[in-house]
C-alpha cells in the first residue's frame, strides 16, 4: 500500500472515530432519552417545532402554537399506508394514557379528506387529526424525513424542542419509554 493510500485510510478512520466519539458524548449527555428510544433516530440538535397552521376535519384552523408547554407527538400518515394505520390505535391509547401528563398527539393526514374521515370514524381515533396540504411534506422533511417516507413521527419536549424522529412504524414500548421520560420532569 502506498503512503498516500495509507494516509487516506488513516484520515478516513480518524473521521469515523471522531464522529463516533462525538455521537457517544451526545448520547451520554442525554442518556435517559437514549434509553427510551435507543433504536430510533435521536435528534439532539435543539430544533424547535416550526410554526404552522392546518385545518382539522371540520375545517377549523389550528396552529402549532396551541400545543405550547405540551409534549407533542406529531405523526404524518395516510390511509393507504399500512404501517400508518397500524400504529394509530396505539397512538390513540397512549393519548388517553398520557393526556393528563400534558402529552398531545397530532396526526397530519397526507390524504384526501373523505378517506380520512371514513377511516377516523371506523377506527374511532380520538386524537387530533389535521389535513395536510402541499407544504406538509416540506414540513416533514424539515424535521428530518429526508426521503418523505410515511409514517413519519416527530416528538417534541415541553420546550418545543425536537427530541426524536422515526420513519416507519413506532414501537410502542420505545415510545412509551420516551413519553415516560419526557413527562417525569
Q: Give the residue extent of every domain in the chain.
A: 1-31, 37-183
Percent of the chain with pLDDT over 90: 72
Class of residue 160 by CB neighbours under 10 A (exposed 0-12, middle 13-18, buried 19+): buried
Q: Report pLDDT for 2.
A: 57
Cell numbers at 48, concatenated: 424547535
Using one digit for the tens of pLDDT, what is the confidence trace for 107-141?
999 999 999 999 999 999 999 999 999 899 999 99
Q: Is the pTM value of this prediction over 0.85?
A: no
Q: Report pLDDT for 18.
A: 35
> How far apart are the C-alpha atoms of 132 and 128, rounded to whole Å?
13
Q: Per CATH, which fold does 37-183 belong to?
A: Glutaredoxin (3.40.30)
pLDDT at 27 over 90: no
Q: What is the 3-state secondary structure (H, E, C) of 94-158?
A: HHHHHHHHCEEEEEEECCCHHHHHHHHHHHCCCCEEEECCCCHHHHHHHCCCCCCCCCEEEEECC
Q: Report pLDDT for 182.
A: 96
Q: Report pLDDT for 179.
A: 97
pLDDT at 10 over 90: no
pLDDT at 39 over 90: no
Identify the weakest region by mean pLDDT among 47-51, 56-60, 69-73: 47-51
Closest to 41 (Cα-Cα) out of 152, 179, 173, 172: 152
> How far apart are the C-alpha atoms of 174 and 38, rounded to whole Å?
8
> How far apart are the C-alpha atoms of 98 and 93, rounded to whole Å?
9
Closest to 171 (Cα-Cα) out of 40, 72, 46: 40
Q: Report pLDDT for 76.
A: 98
Please give the DSSP secondary-structure letter assigned to residue 159. T
> How far apart are the C-alpha atoms of 103 and 99, rounded to whole Å?
5
**pLDDT-based confidence at residue 1 (cuts at 50, 70, 90):** low
Under a CB-based contact definition with an 8 Å cutoff, are residues 145 and 152 in contact?
yes
pLDDT at 8 over 90: no
Identify the weakest region by mean pLDDT among 10-19, 82-91, 126-135, 175-184: 10-19
Amino acid at each position: 500500500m502506498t503512503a498516500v493510500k495509507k494516509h487516506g485510510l488513516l484520515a478516513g478512520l480518524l473521521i469515523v472515530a471522531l464522529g463516533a466519539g462525538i455521537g457517544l458524548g451526545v448520547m451520554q449527555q442525554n442518556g435517559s432519552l437514549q434509553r427510551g428510544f435507543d433504536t430510533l433516530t435521536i435528534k439532539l440538535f435543539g430544533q424547535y417545532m416550526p410554526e404552522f397552521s392546518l385545518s382539522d376535519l371540520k375545517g377549523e384552523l389550528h396552529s402549532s402554537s396551541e400545543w405550547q408547554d405540551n409534549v407533542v407527538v406529531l405523526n404524518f400518515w395516510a390511509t393507504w399506508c399500512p404501517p400508518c394505520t397500524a400504529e394509530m390505535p396505539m397512538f390513540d391509547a397512549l393519548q388517553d394514557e398520557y393526556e393528563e401528563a400534558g402529552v398531545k398527539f397530532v396526526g397530519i393526514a397526507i390524504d384526501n379528506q373523505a378517506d380520512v374521515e371514513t377511516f377516523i370514524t371506523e377506527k374511532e381515533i380520538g386524537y387530533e387529526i389535521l389535513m395536510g396540504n402541499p407544504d406538509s411534506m416540506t414540513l416533514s422533511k424539515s424535521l428530518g424525513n429526508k426521503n418523505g417516507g410515511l409514517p413519519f413521527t416527530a416528538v417534541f419536549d415541553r420546550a418545543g424542542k425536537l427530541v426524536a424522529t422515526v420513519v416507519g412504524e413506532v414501537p410502542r414500548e420505545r415510545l412509551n419509554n420516551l413519553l415516560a421520560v419526557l413527562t417525569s420532569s
